[in-house]
């Protein structure tokens, strides 16, 4: 059910009344780690490690699934206090499987990354790892992401990052999108990202050549709003 879209770079978008930068969508692995910057990620489980953690009953039935958890990154980069925030399907063991993999996720040390200790991050994993990951059916254009910023973003001229998790159907349409990470919190960057879900036209993930219902993580970085110009 859950997987990450291949990295695709988009040109920077400068908006007169909204958030400014829409850049990369997803990752090509079955496991992902999101924090303030993707450059801070030091390690995630391999596809083989993720597959080895597939809950036994689900694996026997070839049940697709995924989970997302929120963790705290210590000064060393190790993660602790991980709490499951989303699993699909519910009560099938995918949340527990993700928590078992948590020691294999790691951030760069805080001193190297210029990041305060105790930073909140999000980890995720997907089962099974797709043979062919999702790809664009229609690649987004920079103008597709023009939107109006929230009052907090506009007044405080904020930059930020948000990640949403969506199910990807067999025809490549996204649905059930949920914001799982935003930094800074409570300023509306997740709200902005949810507005873009309808623009994402993807090819489905494939296992043994057949499309499956999968899920995708869609991260996006936003620059500060550009002030309206008066002539």
Domain ranges of the chain: 1-29+130-231, 31-128
Fold of 31-128: TolA/TonB C-terminal domain (3.30.2420)
pLDDT number for residue 154: 66
Which of the 8 DSSP states describes residue 130? P
Given a cut of 70, whether residue 213 has pLDDT beyond it is yes
- What is the structure's pLDDT at 16? 28
pLDDT at 52: 97
User: What's the CATH number for 1-29+130-231?
Assistant: 3.30.2420.10
Report the largest interatomic distance among the alpha carbons of the chain, rounded to a whole angstrom.
67
Residue 25 has phi, psi (to 5 degrees) of -115, 110
**Residue 150 CB: number of other CB atoms within 10 A?**
18
pLDDT tens per residue, range 62-103: 999 999 999 999 999 999 999 999 999 999 999 999 999 999
**pLDDT of 54 higher than 50:** yes
What predicted TM-score, i.e. pTM, was given to this entire model? Answer: 0.81
Q: Which of 4-18, 59-73, 142-156, 199-213 has the lowest mean pLDDT?
A: 4-18
**What's the rounded mean pLDDT across residues 30-37?**
89
How many CB atoms are located within 10 Å of the residue 188 CB?
21
Element holding 121 (H helix, E strand)? strand 119-127
- Write out pLDDT tens, residues 122-157: 999 999 988 888 887 877 666 666 666 666 676 667
Same fold, 1-29+130-231 and 31-128: yes
């Amino acid at each position: 059910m859950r997987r990450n879209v291949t990295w695709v770079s988009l040109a920077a978008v400068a908006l007169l009344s909204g958030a400014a930068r829409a850049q990369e969508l997803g990752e090509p692995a079955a496991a992902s780690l999101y924090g303030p910057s993707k450059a801070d990620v030091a390690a995630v489980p391999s596809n083989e490690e993720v597959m080895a953690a597939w809950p036994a009953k689900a694996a026997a039935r070839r049940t697709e699934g995924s989970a997302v958890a929120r963790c705290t990154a210590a000064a060393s980069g190790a993660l602790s206090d991980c709490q499951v925030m989303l699993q699909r399907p519910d009560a099938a063991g995918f949340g527990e499987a993700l928590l078992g993999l948590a020691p294999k996720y790691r951030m760069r040390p805080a001193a190297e990354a210029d990041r305060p200790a105790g930073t909140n991050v999000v980890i995720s994993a997907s089962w099974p790892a797709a043979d062919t990951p999702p790809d664009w059916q229609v690649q987004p254009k920079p103008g597709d992401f023009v939107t109006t910023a929230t009052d907090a973003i506009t007044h405080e001229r904020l930059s930020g990052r948000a990640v949403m998790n969506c199910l990807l159907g067999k025809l490549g349409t996204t649905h059930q999108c949920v914001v799982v990470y935003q930094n800074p919190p409570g300023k509306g960057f997740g709200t902005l990202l949810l507005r873009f879900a309808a623009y994402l036209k993807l090819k489905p993930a494939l296992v043994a050549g057949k499309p499956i219902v999968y899920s995708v993580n869609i991260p996006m970085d936003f620059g500060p709003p550009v002030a309206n110009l008066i002539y």
